[in-house]
Structure 1
Amino acid sequence: MTRSPRITVVGSALSGNKGAAAMLEAAIQTLGERLVEPRFTLLSMYPEEDAAQNVYSNLEIVPAAPRQLGVTINTLALAYRVLPFLRETIRRRSRAVKAIVESDVLLDQGGITFTDGREKFLLYNVASILPALNVGTPVFKCAQAIGPFTSRVNRWASRKFLPKVNRIVTRGRITHEYADGLGLRNTVAGADFAFSLELSGTERYEINRHIDLSFFDEDVVGVCPSVVLQRKVDARGGDYIGQIADFIEQVRDEGKRVLLIPHSVRTGTEKTHNNDLPLCREIHARLRLGNDLLFIDRELSSQQLRYLIGQCGLFIASRFHAMVSSLAMAVPTLVIGWSHKYREVLEMFELEEWAFGHDSLSREYLTERFHALERNRIAVKDKLDRNLPAVKERSVMQADLIAELVGSRPAPGA
């Protein structure tokens, strides 16, 4: 009997950040079309939440919270490497190590890794790939942002570990230039995996059970806030909630409808890591009620979110993958970001002028850039329509590379 390909995924999720869900589901979709009955294992930061949302019969959820991944799983993977007589025992007792050992490839779907200014995440970046490196399973870093590498500790870690990865898909020009500058030779230029995500066709029916979609019969402006942006703006003495709320009210005063939509939601908790819903509730509390405002106060799937975003005429994004969804649906988009990862994606559409940094955010500047986007929406839409096919092709390309890698390997774990 032919063995089914096995793929382990780290750095993504079904719950919480729906951009991570979009990347994971895009991998399941595209690799399911290229491989014969592949089986997936997700090393999950939120195993109970992910298991509750798992609708894929070929996806297994295995607990891998940061401490568990960093200490237990990494220690056992190292023991597996240096103590051959313990290998069978380790495989029996650790579902995570067993999955990695028996996999044809480990997909690292971290959206941004090995980056200056994010040194507090560097241990997690290393811990995500080190078990596979120790047990001999190839690591494929799906399209993501890496660099810059000027920080001493980040530069050391990047030079130590990134060359050991089988393939790194860079998510844009700036990342690719950073990788070239570090001397990496295992890179290929691509586009975010989430651009490959296809809608099922059932989204309208699913959403219409909870949300009156006649709201979109008129022109709608979508607004997607981010708690990451809130922290950065407030840290410099700004008032992110007030600025976004004031902007929404001004747009409504101009006669437009507004969709307030979180793209990162964890149900049943007020914790704000990978969870913009508490922030959106605070913004909503400052807004007047009315038929011209729709607030999505619930967790939706990545496909449902993409469908709703696609109903907007214009979109204001702070979450990276909310931007990806709006671009994928060819919606003219204004981006408020905090990293090169936003601008390099917009460059693929010739639209980098429609992004600005959190340090420039004010209600006045946001309003000015929004009105400029509104005036130029036809030209922006034309660029989206013209460039989207090539971006999707660059995204799907990594599924071809993964399938080629899987097909070229002997059965692992022997």
Structure 2
Amino acid sequence: MKVAIIGSALSGNKGAAAMLESAVHHLTERHPDVQISHLSMYPRSDAELNNHSNVTVMDASPLRLGVLINGGALAWRVLPFARESIESGVPEVGALAQADVLLDQGGITFVDGRTKFLIYNVASILPALFVRTPVVKCAQALGPFKTAANRALAKALLPRMAAIVSRGAVTQEHLDGLGLTNTVAGADLAFTLDVTPADAAAADAKVDASFFAAGDVVGVSPSQVLRAAAEGRGEDYVQQIVDQIDYLTETMGRPVYLVAHSTRPNEKTHNNDLPVCRLIHERVASPERVLFPDGELSSQELRSLIGRCDLFVASRFHAMVSSLATGVPTLVLGWSHKYREVLDMFDLASWALPADGVDQATFEARVSELDAGKAQVRATLADRFPAVRAKAMEQLDVIDQVAGQKPANLD
């Protein structure tokens, strides 16, 4: 079996890494002979982090994807006599042409208000269509589709997907509004990410594990995306998070684990929460009560540490996924329907707040309320999680069906 994957990465956003790691793990478990071509937007750093012998990291950095891979795939389609030369010159096109299926793991695509990402959303799937490789859009948020450009592109391309796995009821409603018949209700594949004892030990080696010994840590995951939006409104996002952390440490008396859930080894802010976390850590009233690992941790290491928290405040989507998956009561400060529709699966949507509408008084009231009711929230998470994980696993059957494969372990 040959699989190509695009839209995720091992470096940068660790939510994307969790989706990729989960896909590789489960596909390899089901198909021991599977060969995976990972078309990465960060090929150099992903190659350094790749420890899977059956995964080949290929260069799908934005410019190469938009020009060479899309152009090469189109040439492959219209110039049959040149296909061998094209596949040799642009090996990513060859990998797509030879794949049984392309998995698009973009976490959120074809969404109004994200016009600048539309080009990448299209460029990620168009080459596979050119070379006639079926595309499965793995569980992700899509829509709404009200703006002209987004709606036109969605209506042109989404019906051509072999399957689209929605990540919640709101996304499914948006897809139904387009009249699509190729959709399947699912859940984020990152809910299936496993943390091994080796992963936990690796996390212990990178932080002071004794910080979590008392069992009262509150995790906080800020977001560079929210920072940019807040600063666009003239607000001081860093100070907002500082005030929230100071309430946790000074008033509630709780230690805080400050989580950079999207990291890159530079000062670029795209897919990088490290710069904003550094600014926050510099300003808090009691930095000695705030654990901030200033560097890159794997998605499994992050999940291991998040799972040791007593409460969690999430602004990064997949930090929320990790806290929910590990049974940690979570207050979500989000910016999209993608947060609420996942919390709906746990009947916990009341713990989602719009980040741009939360003042300090509201934050203090809600986090205190969560603390008071955490036992019931934990019970609800424990009760609902098995069904959510099972729903996430169902998309592997969709992938096998599209690829025309039967899992080896079901023979």
Q: Please state which band the TM-score falls in when normalised by the shorter chain.
A: over 0.9
1:43 aligns with 2:39: yes
1:341 aligned partner, one-letter code: K
Looking at structure 2, the residues matched to 86 and 8 of structure 1 have their Cα atoms a distance apart, in angstroms, of 22
2:210 aligned partner, one-letter code: S
Of 22, 29, 32, the residue aligned with 1:33 is 29
- In the alignment, structure 2 segments of 5+ residues that lack a partner are 407-411
Aligned to 1:265: 263
1:56 aligned partner, one-letter code: H
What TM-score comes out, normalization by structure 2 length?
0.96
Q: Per-residue deviation at 1:408?
A: 4.6
Q: Per-residue deviation at 1:255?
A: 1.3
Aligned CA distance change for structure 1 residues 148 and 383 (closer, same or farther; 3 Å): same
Task: Give the conservation status (yes or no) of the 8 Å contact 1:107–1:140.
Answer: yes
Q: Per-residue deviation at 1:291?
A: 4.3
Aligned to 1:223: 220
1:122 aligns with 2:118: yes
Aligned to 1:234: 231
Identity %: 53
Q: What does 1:297-312 correspond to in 2, within 5 Å?
A: 297-312=294-309
Task: Give the conservation status (yes or no) of the 8 Å contact 2:14–2:299.
Answer: yes
Looking at structure 2, the residues matched to 288 and 298 of structure 1 have their Cα atoms a distance apart, in angstroms, of 22
Aligned to 2:409: none
- In the alignment, structure 1 segments of 5+ residues that lack a partner are 410-414
Task: Give the conservation status (yes or no) of the 8 Å contact 2:5–2:103.
Answer: yes
Q: What does 1:190-201 correspond to in 2, within 5 Å?
A: 190-201=186-197
Looking at structure 1, the residues matched to 204 and 194 of structure 2 have their Cα atoms a distance apart, in angstroms, of 19
1:80 aligns with 2:76: yes
Runs of 4+ in 1 over 3 A off after TM superposition: 288-291
Aligned to 1:166: 162
What TM-score comes out, normalization by structure 1 length?
0.96
1:150 aligned partner, one-letter code: K
Aligned to 1:283: 280
Of 374, 377, 389, the residue aligned with 1:377 is 374
- Shifted more, 395-404 versus 273-282: the winner is 395-404
- Shifted more, 60-69 versus 231-240: the winner is 231-240
Aligned to 2:390: 393
Per-residue Cα deviation, 1:270-298 (whole angstroms, up to 9, x for no partner): 00100000110000010244542211111
1:304 aligned partner, one-letter code: E
Aligned to 1:66: 62
Looking at structure 2, the residues matched to 353 and 233 of structure 1 have their Cα atoms a distance apart, in angstroms, of 23
Aligned to 1:57: 53
Task: Give the conservation status (yes or no) of the 8 Å contact 1:233–1:358.
Answer: no
Of 334, 348, 366, the residue aligned with 1:351 is 348
Q: Per-residue deviation at 1:361?
A: 2.4
Looking at structure 1, the residues matched to 184 and 290 of structure 2 have their Cα atoms a distance apart, in angstroms, of 43
SS in 2 for 1:202: helix
1:321 aligns with 2:318: yes
Q: What does 1:145-160 correspond to in 2, within 5 Å?
A: 145-160=141-156
Task: Give the conservation status (yes or no) of the 8 Å contact 1:35–1:403.
Answer: no
Looking at structure 1, the residues matched to 382 and 204 of structure 2 have their Cα atoms a distance apart, in angstroms, of 27
SS in 2 for 1:209: helix
Task: Give the conservation status (yes or no) of the 8 Å contact 2:246–2:286.
Answer: no
SS in 2 for 1:77: helix
- Shifted more, 123-132 versus 247-256: the winner is 247-256
Task: Give the conservation status (yes or no) of the 8 Å contact 2:317–2:339.
Answer: yes
Looking at structure 2, the residues matched to 91 and 103 of structure 1 have their Cα atoms a distance apart, in angstroms, of 13
Aligned to 2:92: 96
SS in 1 for 2:126: helix
Looking at structure 1, the residues matched to 175 and 200 of structure 2 have their Cα atoms a distance apart, in angstroms, of 41
Kindly tell me the number of residue pairs found equivalent between the two proteins.
Answer: 404
SS in 1 for 2:206: coil
- Shifted more, 64-73 versus 104-113: the winner is 64-73
1:204 aligns with 2:238: no
Looking at structure 1, the residues matched to 354 and 360 of structure 2 have their Cα atoms a distance apart, in angstroms, of 13
Q: Per-residue deviation at 1:203?
A: 2.0
1:255 aligned partner, one-letter code: G
Q: Per-residue deviation at 1:376?
A: 1.4
Aligned to 2:291: 294
1:116 aligned partner, one-letter code: D
Of 379, 399, 403, the residue aligned with 1:402 is 399
Aligned to 2:362: 365
